[in-house]
Amino acid sequence: MTFSRRLLPLGASLTRGRFTSYQIRNGYTRGFSTETSLAKLAEKCAVAVPECSNGEDEIAKIRHEFELAKQRFLNIPEALNTMPKMNPQGIYVNKNLRLDNIQVYGFDYDYTLAHYSSDLQTLIYDLAKQHMVNEFRYPESCMKFKYDPTFPIRGLYYDKQKGFLMKLDFFGSIEPDGCYFGRRKLSREELENMYGTRHIGRDQARGLVGLMDFFCFSEACLIADMVQYFVDAKLEFDASNIYNDVNRAIQHVHRSGLVHRGVLADPNRYLLKNGQLLRFLRSLKDKGKKLFLLTNSPYHFVDGGMRYLMEDSFGLKDSWRDLFDVVIAKANKPEFYTSEHPFRCYDSERDTLAFTKVDAFHPNKVYYHGCLKSFLQITKWHGPEVIYFGDHLFSDLRGPSKAGWRTAAIIHELEREIKIQNEDSYRFEQAKFHIIQELLGRFHATASNNQRSEACQSLLDELNKARQKARDTMKQMFNRSFGATFVTDTGQESAFSYHIHQYADVYTSKPENFLFYRPEAWLHVPYDIKIMPHHVKVPSNLFKT
């Protein structure tokens, strides 16, 4: 468990076309063309409107359509039932992947093979907080801080110069209602005063650090709480010092083994058992695939966790290590992919490292450290035939992606967010947001700032208020502070989504979701993606009845 931070690459984007849902199984959409179906739906619901003679007529028309829409907003339209539902256990594709070409499967451990309860974030938070008070001499009153699971999401950025914790969109702009100084949300006026514009330029990006892995929840919360303490106490502080101290404390509780000992002392509290994991790994072995484990965690922690996770499925003589051809612990990713560190054979009984050179991997041995260069020389496994599963987009997946391996991002929160997106209540608010956005666009294209009457301004205020209400309602369904992980309140993909596009060939919530696909399946990119493959946009036409 080590950390790698990366600044947001700016000025980059992806080619983006129209969207169609990904073909998935088990009662969810399969080959469903969202574009075609919604076009037919819009045809049935469309209202013929005469041409406008002038700007005043157009404003009156917008007012009329808005009043009609408000009446229709009173009920969820039945047409929502025809919308496709995405599979929470689906595999979503950024780059085409043929599974029959994959011969080697590699896995990270934490939050990939092993999933944890939210209690782990509380444990990390409390241990790091104690370290800051006891070792860094932070005020004793900080010991009263409590981890708040409702505050952070993954993929936030921290401005080390200004002390702001923020959510960015795909293009590097700050989420208008997603920037916090401590626990206080900044207003849009404050954002403009601080940055001049919501878009983060290259110079400003140098001061940002990304919080991307699943352990960053406790880190983001502790940073915000420490900033809030200094603000409330009216004490001067350097925002970069707070980040450095929190990050050092988080690193310490991992490297010292405090977290590992806490988890193994009470695995029932922290580890989530999953019977499908063993079935998935065994199915790969039965198909003749090679498996390896590559993790930054120490072996004793991995061994204790895997024993607990599979104790209900294994016999007395079975061992989880029999599933893997190679086991590598304390790999020190991401340096593993670029360094030339040698492998060391690890004696788990004596807790010692051998001094002999490692020039072959044996199934009954455990290895420490090492590097990608030596790994490829020993295994002779070629890049395109290897897929690596990991949860950290930088430490786990960036190196393999550049080395030619295929990559699978394991994003645990994906399952919950897709379930929310499938709910009629969410899609109802999304459609309301889209129709109001459309009316606002037409309003601004018609009404000049210098010629707006009182009636025009009243309409503009009502539209803005209704749009904000729909936006806030959707946001609260995911996270009260920052909204959804993958999209912003305005419907843009988040910066976190950008990194998924960049480093993950496919992404899903758990490795065992691959059980739902044939071993020779061709996982292909939908031909008309507009946003993330798992996301469906509800059109405003649903309300034009």
Q: What residue numbers does the annotated binding site cover? A: 108, 110, 391
Q: Which helix (H) or strand (E) holds 407?
A: strand 406-410
Rounded Cα distance between 515 and 284, Å, is: 10
Rounded Cα distance between 365 and 382, Å, is: 22
What is the phi/psi pair of residue 332, to 5°?
Answer: 60, 45
If you write DSSP's letter for every residue of 505-517 in order, what string do you get? SEEES-GGGGGGS
Known binding residues for GMP are 110
Q: Which residues are catalytic?
A: 108, 110
Q: E strands, 193-332, where?
A: 208-211, 290-294, 326-329
**In 407-541, which ranges are continuous DSSP H helix?**
414-422, 424-446, 454-478, 495-503
Q: If we measure between CA atoms, which residue out of 363, 373, 388, 299 comes closest to residue 104?
A: 388
Q: If we measure between CA atoms, which residue out of 327, 331, 318 comes closest to residue 291?
A: 327
Q: How far is CA 388 from the centre of its chain?
A: 17
Known binding residues for Mg(2+) are 108, 391
Sign of CA dihedral 187, 193, 195, 197: positive
Tokens 């090679």: give the residue. 290
Q: What angle do CA 25, 27, 29 make, to 5 degrees?
A: 65
Tokens 């209690």: give the residue. 119
